Chain A
């Protein structure tokens, strides 16, 4: 599904072409007169033109900076498009350096009440900057004088110290664009890879050589000047059950391959191949160096693994210990800049702090463990054509015990050993260790979830149903269900709430098993009394055997999809109902016995019915064997759900003899 296309490697086949440039600024009569956008008549606003220009250069402070200039002109077709007149530019900072936005200008062109052309400029005092978190701020401004049919034009310059993460360009947005162009100027000291994502093709790519465009303290270089453009780009529309829109949006990305220090001529290979990344990560203070702190962990884990003999026992003990030790501080990432010792002493840390501690601790205990870099679902898919370190935003542990791999994330205290949160089940992960070359591992089909409900019920002469409902949850469902229970201060308060939510059902007794034994299935046994029928004088009683968990509408509504349905994991859900009826009743209408399957064993729904005398047994199973269903499989998936809904709609009828 991933439409990843390697467009060009820089410095190959340079040719001189007509120089591209920014579009002309200012008022254009036809743009203000424009009434609608014919290619998308539902659009409330459309980019008339958009231009970006990035170059690596020497900034006023004599430092090497990435200088990004942005210029856009948007037609606001009606007042529902006014939100496009508020511009927000996220910027980042570290402890000592920061990105900066300068030279903001904005103009609105409109027809006034008397039909005369007017323009109004953005007041520089009305540009605001808010601090959002430690490493991020937003620069915001609202274009003045918006009216139906107005045209807004704005520019800004963003100066970034992070030239190693070269500015990407998103051709596609939530509103359509008529034209979007991006130019980059890269001095010969740097080499980047460019890659295009998304379904649309570039309508223009050129490259040319710029003579001596970079000079600093006697050091000079030519630049590669590349231009990418697209025409008539439709608005992006998201669908339900999809992963990050980033995976599907048309955009161009750049990755640093190597660079030469202009002053010392020292060449640094950044990411030519995975072996280079491996080497770099191994010596990185915030990564490899942390993984080498085995002595520290040996000391700290000694008591935790005391008396444990097998590797699995040691690993589960360390995992549980660190889950409890740490409180995640809501920061993400793959690096631990302050180190795992400091994080451990503070009892808190980022994803990397916590899981690098785990990896090191496991290795210190003699359990062979590797790090797995991954990208969470909302962060988007990985570029697998060549290494892109910034694709990754999360790191977990892979413990290799007796020929089996366990994927571990100690940042969440409710995850059982070997279970990952849904957010991590995305695409591929790169396995990194100190002593082996790195390799890929598939994450999207790593785990399963299942539950089974067993209902043993008796219909009494007074119209009530008594019996037990037993629910067992395995894998991910056990995790989510534990989380739901733990929201309450005690199991009693959870049961009280459950009882309160089911007015027809009285919970007489309950037993929750393995709530804190995370590695066991979670069990829930409820002894219940159900107010089923008000009176038993009727000749026929209607009963729905799916009452405990009935699906009444199809979650899939679209006739067809453009993007895959991604659930993250396979699932298996079963229900068994054993029921006794009073002697005077017989079954007039049994439930439907059906079996439906998806092509290629992709999944199934089946029911089974069996009865003798006044007893019957009814069971059903819903199984999805895959985590991801592609658009071509979608009609089958939708139809399977349709059959489930139809089957579960049908009632049973009990008839008085």
Chain B
């Protein structure tokens, strides 16, 4: 009895092993095919920490490419640098029946520098290869090893972060000596970790996930890390490029960064310190002092990113920036901090995940890989001001949509603190326009309009303001969908106070704005701010509706109508009020004056997925309303 049971087990295991290596495409479950251009048959990631300066990654992937759209998933990309060394790559291509047709190895790979699109230099390199198969479907199976000479961070496991890709099986095994402590964070993982010991006596942590369907893009979804599966791992003690340390929470991590990476970088030459004193002489309010110094820094420096070795985490010396006048976000924040220190203003170096999509670090899991930018915090009494130090023109205290409304980690001498950056509300993010136009009997339009931009809309015109006058006009013509718009004059004013405001004034004319036909003049009531797109419908939506940032747009246009004409056809007024937004468009006619008013407000927040159809209807109503014509006829 016992023997036969054992035999049965062995049989199952060997059958399973056999099945694993069979890459016949017909074995893929039909359930995994919808919206998939590729199916990961099996992905095994093994991370073995041998020592603080020796971690071995072994990655084995088998992925079936179903059609041409999956080709980019067949791109094999392996990052490497001086700390992370590739130990070998090899692979095989199988045809749809699971028969091997081609082999490849590391020598087939092209090795180039990584490009982030903005750095002058980055020491990260990338080896990449695509096996160029033209018969679909096909399967590529490849494995590679990377030796990492650090233990500060470990690659997270994200089994299905690519849209258009389904996953049959994916697993992640982390192994280390029993005394190497780790913390881990599971997100959307159905089967919890299995902890064990392997034959070398190493402690192992294993996660596995099976049968994940292809992720479909759904507009207005929350951040992907909220609904995708992932496991993050962080060490208790580590070594990185000769720097050692330990942390298990944000407080300790901030303390380690402050002590090991930051505190030694703040010296500036005595002449610069003296000049800062001279510059702020006579100013008593520390905030105004800080503003003076910040503006000096903005005028003097510019952003250039150079990332080499530990320089990925540690700023250039403040004295270097003082001399070179350039640096990346770390260097410029550190430099500003150093300048402020010369006049005894304290500030915090704050690491943040920047980007228009708001992202905060996990409250309960401290790790280095949740950030991509640095800003500076001025902790005045009753008033915390944050400074973006990489822009030469952003107003003092204004963060724009790049780092607003999210948690950041302040690295202070007392340790790390999670702070929240200011939120710009739907009411704050205001674009308010008033236009006064004359429409003549030939349909020609002339007049002027003034628009103010506030909150995160403050920098709507930043690109245009930078241009030469001739280019400004070209770009403004693209901004406004007024047919035949001829800009006679365009002026911009920027008030860089704590609540910054941009004001745009345009004098314009537009021949044949209205279409004249058979004694009638037809024109678009909304000349200035029309919406054109409606979010697409989503069948069987799975994500909640998330509006990342709210805004308000107000337009008021007064048209002086040509004498002798009256309104024959006009759109009906619209007023919509939903939890996530409001829209109204009205027309009033008084003698020969027609006043068009439009207001759109979108309110940020997370809403039930059931309201998604309402959101589509909302936008559809706006697009239709914006497309409405007014028709004038002559006589009574």
How far is B110's CA from A327's CA once the two chains are assembled, in angstroms?
A: 17
Q: List residues of chain B with CB within 8 A of the CB of A642.
A: 483-484, 511-512
- Whether A146 lies near B302 (C-beta < 8 A) is yes
Bound-complex Cα distance A130 to B112 (A)? 8
Q: Does B364 contact A (CB under 8 A)?
A: no
B325 at the interface (CB under 8 A from A): yes
Nearest B residue to A590 by beta-carbon distance? B518
* Residue A145 CB within 8 A of the other chain: yes
Chain A residue at minimal CB-CB distance from B308:
A128
Q: A128-B121, A144-B323, A145-B323 are in contact. Are A651 and B522 (CB under 8 A)?
A: yes
Contact between A554 and B484, CB atoms less than 8 A apart: yes
Are A142 and B304 touching (Cβ within 8 A)? yes
Is residue A649 within 8 Å, beta carbon to beta carbon, of the partner chain?
Answer: yes
Whether A86 lies near B620 (C-beta < 8 A) is: no
Give the residues in chain A near B629, CB-CB below 8 Å: 542, 649, 651
Residue ID in chain A nearest B478 by CB atoms: A557
Contact with A along B468-491 (1 / 0, CB 8 A): 111100100110011111100000
Q: In this complex, which of A147, A326, A497 has the most chain B Cβ atoms within 10 angstroms of its Cβ?
A: A147
Chain A 496-539 residues near chain B, CB threshold 8 A:
496-497, 499-501, 503-504
Min CB gap B545→A, angstroms: 15
Instruction: State the CA gap A557–B631 with chains docked (Å).
Output: 26
Interface flag for A347 (CB, 8 Å): yes
Minimal Cβ-Cβ distance residue in B for A591: B517
Interface residues of A in 105-142 (CB under 8 A from B): 113-114, 120, 126, 128, 130-134, 140-142
CA distance A82 to B325 in the complex (A): 11
With known contacts A327-B134, A329-B132, A489-B37, A646–B515 Cβ distance under 8 A: yes
Interface residue? B275 (CB, 8 A): yes
Q: Does A35 contact B (CB under 8 A)?
A: no
Contact of B471 among A131, A237, A646 (CB under 8 A): A237
Residues of B within 8 A of A504 (CB): 620
Task: Say yes or no: is A155 at the interface (Cβ < 8 Å to chain B).
Answer: no
Residues of A within 8 A of B122 (CB): 130
Task: Tell me the nearest residue of chain B to A506, going by C-beta.
Answer: B537
Asked if A472 is at the interface of the complex by the 8 Å CB criterion, the answer is no
- A653 and B478 contact, CB distance less than 8 A: no
Of B68, B132, B515, which one neighbours A486 at CB under 8 angstroms?
B68
Bound-complex Cα distance A144 to B120 (A): 13
Q: Which residues of B contact A147 (CB under 8 A)?
A: 299-300, 325
Residues of B within 8 A of A145 (CB): 323-325
Chain B residue at minimum C-beta to C-beta distance from A142: B304
Q: Is B392 within 8 A of A79, CB to CB?
A: yes
Which size bracket describes the interface of B in this complex? 35 or more
A146-B326, A500-B536, A503-B537 known; A487+B392 contact, CB < 8 A = no
Q: How far is the CA of A141 from the CA of B518 in the complex (A)?
A: 66
Closest to B298 in A: A79
B595-629: contact bitstring with A at CB < 8 Å (1 yes, 0 no)? 00000000000000000000011001000000001
Q: Are B536 and A489 in contact (CB under 8 A)?
A: no
**Chain A, Cβ-Cβ closest to B67:** A489
Whole-angstrom distance between the Cβ of A486 and the nearest chain B Cβ: 7
Q: Does A393 contact B (CB under 8 A)?
A: no
A558 to B36, CA, bound (A): 45
Q: How large is the interface on A (under 10, 10 to 19, 20 to 34, 35 or more residues)?
A: 35 or more
B524 CB–A CB distance under 8 Å: yes
Counting chain B CB atoms within 10 Å of each CB, the highest count among A132, A413, A501, A557 belongs to A557
Query: How far does the Cβ of B536 sit from chain A's closest Cβ, in whole Å?
Result: 4
The residues in B between 112 and 136 inclusive whose CB is less than 8 angstroms from any CB of A are: 112-113, 115, 120-122, 125, 132-134
A357 at the interface (CB under 8 A from B): no
Instruction: From A237, A488, A650, A651, give the contact of B470 (CB < 8 A).
Output: A237
Kindly state the separation between the CA atoms of A358 and B18 in the bound complex, as whole angstroms. Answer: 43
B259 at the interface (CB under 8 A from A): no
Q: A79-B302, A486-B68 are in contact. Are A503 and B534 (CB under 8 A)?
A: yes
Q: Is the CB of B569 within 8 A of A348?
A: no
B524 partner residues in chain A, CB cutoff 8 A:
649
Verify B483–A347 contact, CB threshold 8 A: no
Residues in B whose Cβ lies below 8 Å from that of A346: 132
- What chain B residues lie within 8 Å of A500 (beta carbons)? 536-539
| B106 neighbours in A (Cβ, 8 Å) | none
From the candidates B69, B522, B616, name the one contacting A649 in the complex (CB within 8 A).
B522
* Chain A positions within 8 Å of B324 at CB level: 120, 142, 144-145
Q: Does B306 contact A (CB under 8 A)?
A: yes
* Binary B-proximity of A352-394 (CB < 8 A = 1, otherwise 0): 0000000000000000000000000000000000000000000
Asked if A148 is at the interface of the complex by the 8 Å CB criterion, the answer is yes
Main secondary structure of the interface of B (DSSP, over half): mixed
Interface string of A43-56 (1 = CB under 8 A from B): 10000000000000
The verdict on A295 contacting chain B, using a C-beta distance below 8 Å, is: no
B residues less than 8 Å from A348 (CB atoms)? 132
Q: Does A416 contact B (CB under 8 A)?
A: no
Q: Chain A: which residue is nearest B475 at the CB level? A: A557
Do residues A133 and B110 form an inter-chain contact, with CB atoms below 8 A? yes
> Does B466 have its Cβ within 8 Å of any Cβ on chain A?
yes
Bound-complex Cα distance A647 to B518 (A) = 12
**Cα-based distance from A570 to B151 in the complex (angstroms):** 61
Given A346-B132, A347-B133, check contact A503 B620 (CB 8 Å).
Answer: yes
Question: Nearest Cβ distance between residue B392 and chain A, in whole angstroms?
Answer: 5
A325 interface hit (Cβ, 8 Å) = yes
| Bound CA span A499–B534, Å | 12
> Which B-chain residue is minimally distant from A646 (CB atoms)?
B515
Q: How far is the CB of B270 from chain A (nearest CB, A)?
A: 13
Which residues of B have CB within 8 Å of A496? 539
State whether B132 touches A554 (Cβ < 8 A): no
Closest A residue, CB atoms, query B572: A538
Q: What is the 8 Å Cβ interface bit string for chain A, positions 560-576, against chain B (1 contact, 0 not)?
A: 00000000000000000
Distance in Å from the Cβ of B281 to the closest Cβ of chain A? 13
- The one of B67, B466, B515 that contacts A647, using a Cβ cutoff of 8 Å: B515
Are A80 and B466 CB-contacts (below 8 A) given A503-B616, A542-B629?
yes
Are the CB atoms of A42 and B468 closer together than 8 Å?
yes
Q: Specify which chain B residues have a CB less than 8 angstroms from the CB of A608 in the assembled complex.
A: none
Given contacts A131-B111, A486-B68, A493 and B35 within 8 Å (CB-CB): yes
In the complex, chain B residues whose CB is within 8 Å of the CB of A327? 71, 132-134
> How near does chain A come to B395, taking the closest CB pair, in angstroms?
15
Known: A557-B478, A592-B517, A650-B515. A499 touches B537 (CB 8 A): yes
B300 near A133 with CB under 8 A, answer: no
Residues of A within 8 Å of B538, CB to CB, are 500
For A542, list chain B residues within 8 Å (CB).
569, 629
Within the assembled complex, what's the spacing in Å between the Cα atoms of A131 and B110?
10
B66 within 8 A of A: yes
Check if B517 sits within 8 Å of A650, measured CB to CB: yes
**Which residue, of A43, A144, A489, A592, has the highest number of chain B Cβ atoms within 10 A?**
A489
Per the bound structure, the CA–CA distance linking A276 and B592 in Å amounts to 77
A140 touches B113 (CB 8 A): no
Chain A residues whose CB sits within 8 angstroms of the CB of B474 once the complex forms:
557-558
- Which one, B132, B323, B512, B631, contacts A347 given CB within 8 A? B132
- How many Å from the CB of A657 to the closest CB on chain B? 18
Question: Is A347 touching B134 in the complex (CB atoms < 8 A)?
Answer: yes
Extra A-B contacts (9), CB below 8 Å, given A147-B325, A501-B537: A86-B304, A120-B323, A144-B323, A146-B302, A327-B132, A489-B37, A554-B483, A559-B486, A642-B512
Name 16 interchain pairs, CB-CB below 8 A, sorted by A: A42-B468, A113-B275, A120-B324, A131-B112, A131-B113, A132-B112, A145-B325, A499-B537, A500-B538, A500-B539, A501-B536, A501-B537, A557-B474, A557-B485, A642-B483, A647-B515
The 5 closest A-B pairs by CB, nearest first: A42-B468, A348-B132, A128-B121, A130-B113, A500-B536
Residues in B lying within 8 Å of A, measured CB to CB: 35-37, 66-69, 71, 110-113, 115, 120-122, 125, 132-134, 164, 275, 299-300, 302, 304, 306, 323-326, 392, 443, 466, 468-471, 474, 477-478, 481-486, 511-512, 515, 517-518, 520, 522-524, 534, 536-539, 569, 616-617, 620, 629, 631
